[in-house]
Amino acid sequence: MRCKGINKNTTYWNRVLEYFNKEKAFASTHNANSLMNSWSTIQLHTNKFVGFLASIEMTSPSGVNEQNKINEAKEAYLKVQNTAFRFDHCWNYLEASTKMVRIYCKAS
């Protein structure tokens, strides 16, 4: 018996693997499952960081610059998670992509 959606999920991650193998500039032994697990880890920690950042943004007085808010969110993440946020490069990319989507959607 197959669980509903498993085949669709497998197909998606196989396409991600295909794209990854085509675009990578280094040797890798990743398979579709390892890419899915990596993304799950990135998503989990990035979402936690975004939660800390949102909390900081809601409580920060006006005039506090974006970098200070990010630094405060990193400090809060470290305090609560007992480890430093290590996905800055992923968050920067995702944040830039999200901003572009918001700009594009407003223009449409």
Biggest CA-to-CA distance, the chain: 58
What are the C-alpha distances in Å from 66 to residues 17, 60, 77?
35, 10, 16
> Which sign does the torsion angle of CA 61, 65, 69, 75 carry?
negative
Q: What is the pLDDT of residue 6?
A: 55
Which of these, 92, 76, 78, lies nearest to 100 by C-alpha position?
92
Per-residue model confidence as pLDDT tens digits over 64-86: 899 999 999 999 999 999 999 99
Domain boundaries, the chain: 6-107
Supply 88's token pair. Answer: 């800055």
Per-residue model confidence as pLDDT tens digits over 16-47: 999 999 999 999 999 999 999 999 999 999 99
Supply 72's token pair. Answer: 């405060």
Q: What is the pLDDT of residue 13?
A: 93
Q: Model-level pTM? A: 0.78
Residue 10's pLDDT band, with cuts at 50, 70 and 90, is confident
Q: What is the pLDDT of residue 2?
A: 46
Asked if pLDDT for residue 1 goes beyond 50, the answer is no
